Amino acid sequence: MTPPPLLEVEDLRVEYLTATGRVRVVDDVSFTVRRGEIVGLAGESGSGKTTIALAILRLLKAPAAITGGRVLFEGRDLLGLGEAELRRVRGRKISLVTQSAMSALNPVITIGEQLVDAIEEHEGVSRRRGLERARRLLELVGLDGARVASYPHELSGGMRQRVVIAMALALEPPLIVMDEPTTALDVVVQRELLGEIARLRDQRGFSILFITHDLSLMLELCTRIGVLYAGRLAEAAPARQLAAAPRHPYTRGLLGCFPELHGAATRLVGIGGTPPDPRHPPPGCRFHPRCGHSLPACHVSAPPRTVVGPDHEVACHLLP
């Protein structure tokens, strides 16, 4: 029998409660992360990626509210936990790396001490033992262990982001949620860091939920990918399958948006129009105003999820 997935997000719904009403920015999103997997969530800005990451860790603040669904972690629904239990889950079971985390490092405290603080908060270790752990964590992410004595401003952006990843690894959680972890970095640094993340994953066997707007990056790193559009999952598939045989018109369009480095420099078509305003989403399929294949049904009813292959689901009326 196969073990249950590490993380199971089921029909997650998040709404922002604004003066003019409820805005549903995550609409019945379901996906799983198994042990040792890197699962990607791709989507354009505003599609709900960060909201999902924060919802999983229960870090959403008002006016945002989770209004439906379940987030099962090791079989337990995180949405039912109290604040004390949640604190035990965060960091130790699930940690979060965000795009802005590297600027959130405390400028007046050495990175070694910041790492020790992160460890101490959960485990009563001595300062000396803690610092030794900090040193090893830095080496793990490809930094010189002696850098424990450095202050954040003495490190480059790429090095700071490595420190943030070291912090996320500190308590060896089985799941790390990474929201645009390399977006602020240069291509070469980004590539080095992603190589490091992939290597660590191979070594330690933790799972990653990897969130980015950059589909081409995701195709390289992830085992499976979910494509979000306006708060809904348009398609989910194994990475190779998604690249080779995308089925949803939006996924197909998106894959056609990246110029190639080699081969013929043919004109790209892109996707016309712009993503909808979440306050006034179009009825039916939210992609229909930009879709070249829409049917009458697309204007009135949201397409159901259809399983089209192993681990491959598509939400589109074109599919039987």
Partner 1 sequence: MSPAPLIEVRGLGKTFAVRDGLRTRALHALTDVTFEVHRGEAVALVGESGSGKSTAARVIARLLPASSGELRFDGADVLARRRVPLSFRARVQLIFQDPFASLNPVHTIGYHLERPLLRHGKARGRAAVAARVHELLDSVGLAPAAELARKHPHQLSGGQRQRVAIARALAVAPDVILADEPTSMLDASIRVGVLNLLRDLKEQRGIALLLITHDLASARYLADRTVVMYAGHVVEVGPSALVMAAPLHPYTRLLISAVPDARGSFATPLAARGGAPRLIDPPPGCPFAARCPEVHDRCRRELPALRPVSVSRLARCHLHQPAALSAAS
Phi/psi for 185 (5° steps) reads -105, 160
Measured from the CB of residue 24, what is the shortest distance to ligand SF4 in angstroms? 17
Q: Rounded to whole angstroms, how far apart are CA atoms 300 and 277?
A: 18
Q: Is 32 in the site for ligand ADP (CB under 6 A)?
A: no
Q: Residue 190 binds which one of ligand SF4, Mg ion, partner 1, none, with CB within 5 to 8 A depending on kind?
A: partner 1
User: How far, CA to CA in Å, does 98 sit from each of 34, 104, 138, 182?
Assistant: 21, 10, 18, 9
**Reduced to 3 states, what is the DSSP secondary structure of residue 260?**
coil
Restricted to residues 267-296, the positions that interact with ligand ADP (CB under 6 A) are 278
Task: Write down the residue that tokens 């995701």 correspond to.
Answer: 218
Q: Which of 63, 75, 195, 205 binds partner 1 (CB under 8 A)?
A: 195
- Contact at 8 Å (CB) between 10 and 28? no
Q: How far apart are the first and last CA of the chain?
A: 30
Query: From edge to edge, which strands make up the β-sheet containing 38-42?
Result: 94-98, 175-179, 207-212, 38-42, 224-229, 232-238, 312-315, 305-309
Measured from the CB of residue 180, what is the shortest distance to Mg ion in angstroms? 6
Structure tokens at 168: 């996320």
Q: Is 317 in the site for ligand SF4 (CB under 6 A)?
A: yes
Structure tokens at 162: 């490595």
Q: Which of 32, 98, 150, 190 binds partner 1 (CB under 8 A)?
A: 190
**Maximum Cα interatomic distance, the chain, rounded to a whole number of Å:** 68
Q: Is 47 in the site for ligand ADP (CB under 6 A)?
A: yes
Q: Is 238 in the site for partner 1 (CB under 8 A)?
A: no
Q: Which of 5, 40, 48, 152 binds ligand ADP (CB under 6 A)?
A: 48
Nearer to partner 1, 75 or 195 (CB): 195
Restricted to residues 226-285, the positions that interact with ligand SF4 (CB under 6 A) are 248-250, 285
Q: Judged by CB under 6 A, how many residues of this single chain contact ligand SF4?
A: 15
Q: Residue 48 binds which one of partner 1, ligand ADP, Mg ion, none, with CB within 5 to 8 A depending on kind?
A: ligand ADP
301: part of which helix (H) or strand (E)? Answer: none
Candidate ranges 45-53, 66-74, 109-117, 242-250; the one touching Mg ion (CB under 5 A): 45-53
Q: Residue 278 binds which one of partner 1, Mg ion, ligand ADP, none, with CB within 5 to 8 A depending on kind?
A: ligand ADP
* DSSP one-letter string for 120-151: HHHS---HHHHHHHHHHHHHHTT--GGGGG--
Q: Residue 158 binds which one of ligand ADP, partner 1, Mg ion, none, with CB within 5 to 8 A depending on kind?
A: partner 1
Candidate ranges 54-62, 131-139, 150-158, 294-302; the one touching ligand SF4 (CB under 6 A): 294-302
Bridge partners (DSSP) listed for residue 21? 18
Measured from the CB of residue 235, what is the shortest distance to ligand SF4 in angstroms? 10
Could you list the beta-strand ranges (E) of the chain.
Answer: 7-18, 21-33, 38-42, 64-73, 76-77, 94-98, 175-179, 207-212, 224-229, 232-238, 305-309, 312-315
- Contact at 8 Å (CB) between 260 and 254? no
Q: Give the binding site for partner 1 (CB under 8 A).
A: 44-45, 156-158, 186-192, 194-195, 198, 213-217, 219-221, 239-240, 243, 253-254, 256-262, 265, 267-272, 274-275
Q: Which residues bind ligand ADP (CB under 6 A)?
A: 16, 18, 23, 25, 43, 45-51, 63, 278
Contact set with ligand SF4 (CB under 6 A)? 248-250, 285, 287-288, 291, 293-295, 298, 303, 316-318
